[in-house]
Amino acid sequence: MQLNNLTITQAHQGLKKKEFSALELTESVLNRIRKRNPEINAYLTITEELALNQAKRVDNKIANKEEIGILEGIPVAVKDAILVDGIKCTAASKILENYIAPYDATVIKRLKKAGAVIVGKTNLDEFTMGASGENSAFGPTKNPHDLKRVPGGSSSGSAAAVADNQTIYALGTDTGGSIRQPASFCGIVGLKPTYGRVSRYGLITHASSLDQIGPMTKTVEDAEIVFNAIQGKDEKDATSMSVEVQPQQRSDLGSQIKDLKIGVPKEYFVEGIDPRVEKLIRKAINKYQEMGAKIVEVSLPHTEYALACYYIIMPAEASANLARYDGIKYGLSEKGKDLLEGYLKTKQKGFGDEVTRRIMMGTYLLSSGYYDAYYLKAQKVRTLIKQDFDKVFEKVDVLMTPVSPTTAFKIGEKATDPVSMYLSDIYTVSLNLAGLPGISLPVGPLRQSFSEASKVNGLPVGLQIIGQQFNDQKILQVAKLYEKSDL
Strand partners, 464: 401, 440
Catalogue the E-assigned strands of 323-453: 398-402, 438-442
In the set 21, 154, 424, 454, the catalytic residue is 154
Q: How many CB atoms lie within 10 A of CB 330?
A: 15
The one-letter amino acid code at 482 reads: Y
DSSP, residue by residue, 201-263:
TTBPPS-TTT--EEEEESSHHHHHHHHHHHBS--TT-TT----PPPPP-GGGHHHHHHH-EEE
Strand partners, 410: 149
**Catalytic annotation present for 154:** yes
Residues 6+ apart with CB under 8 A from 181: 131, 152, 153, 403, 404, 424, 425, 428, 440, 462
On whether the CB atoms of residues 403 and 427 are closer than 8 A, the answer is: yes
In the set 178, 240, 404, 424, the catalytic residue is 178
In the set 21, 28, 79, 430, the catalytic residue is 79
The one-letter amino acid code at 2 reads: Q
**Catalytic annotation present for 113:** no
The per-type count for the chain, helices as H runs and strands as E runs, is: 16, 13
On whether the CB atoms of residues 430 and 300 are closer than 8 A, the answer is: yes
**Catalytic annotation present for 79:** yes
Catalogue the E-assigned strands of 343-443: 398-402, 438-442
Strand partners, 460: 455
Query: CA 138, 144, 145, 147 torsion: positive or negative?
Result: positive
- The catalytic residues are 79, 154, 178
